[in-house]
Amino acid sequence: MAKHLDLEEQEQLDQIKHFWSKYGNAITWVLIVVLGSFAAWNGWNWWQRSQSAKASALHAEIERAAQARDTARLDAALADMQSRFKGTAFAGQATLLAAKARFEAGQADQARAALEWLVSNSKDEAYRSIARLRLAGIDLDAGQFDAALRTLEAPFPAAFDAMAADRRGDALLAKGDAAGAKAQFEKAWTGFSAETEYRRLVEVKLASLGVDKSPATRQEGRPS
């Protein structure tokens, strides 16, 4: 009986050896790929968390420098952010923050440089759009109305289209093109939802051009 079992065990062992000699190499490589992918995924997640923590700390430093109006510290931290974390949302937020701080300090050229960097380097369409709108605002404040219109020439995403139309209207009105301004303000008014506070500002601009968008006027204009 023991001999019979020994023979069965030997047969099973031979089958295992045969199977392993035929498929063992392939199984080993599959395991290596699976385990390697798992290790790489864990490593990527750890790296992402590490990068996010570092970028967050640097963003906080930029916020502190902006509040303190420490331009040397602000420039150093922003340059570090833009070089090390160029493709992150933190870089976009920090650049907009730095540009705002520079503009409020009366340093329009430095604000412009920060916004132009963002337009050229950000992968996020929303950040690029905000930067273009703010650049147009700087141009308007400087009386460079044609430059503002050039900044606003390229199409904007739907979420920013109404704001871009409003800025175009401001530039055209400043140039003396009342008809063109009216068309852009109409586009902006239509693009903003009725609940948006900014829509009321556009209504005021249209009213100055002889277009009454007040609720009472709209009610009267409806067919009975």
Beta-carbon contacts of residue 103 (< 8 Å; ≥ 6 apart): 111, 134, 138
- pLDDT band at 182; cut points 50, 70, 90: very high
154-179 mean pLDDT: 94
176: left (phi over 0), alpha (psi -120 to 50) or beta: left
pLDDT over 70 at 191, yes or no: yes
Beta-carbon contacts of residue 62 (< 8 Å; ≥ 6 apart): 74, 77, 78, 81, 94, 97, 98
pLDDT over 70 at 60, yes or no: yes
Question: According to DSSP H, which parts of 142-208 are helical?
Answer: 145-151, 158-174, 178-191, 197-208
Helices (H) and strands (E) in the chain, counts: 10, 0
Give the model's pLDDT for residue 143.
95
Give the model's pLDDT for residue 14.
59
- For 48-59, the pLDDT digits (tens) are 555 677 788 888
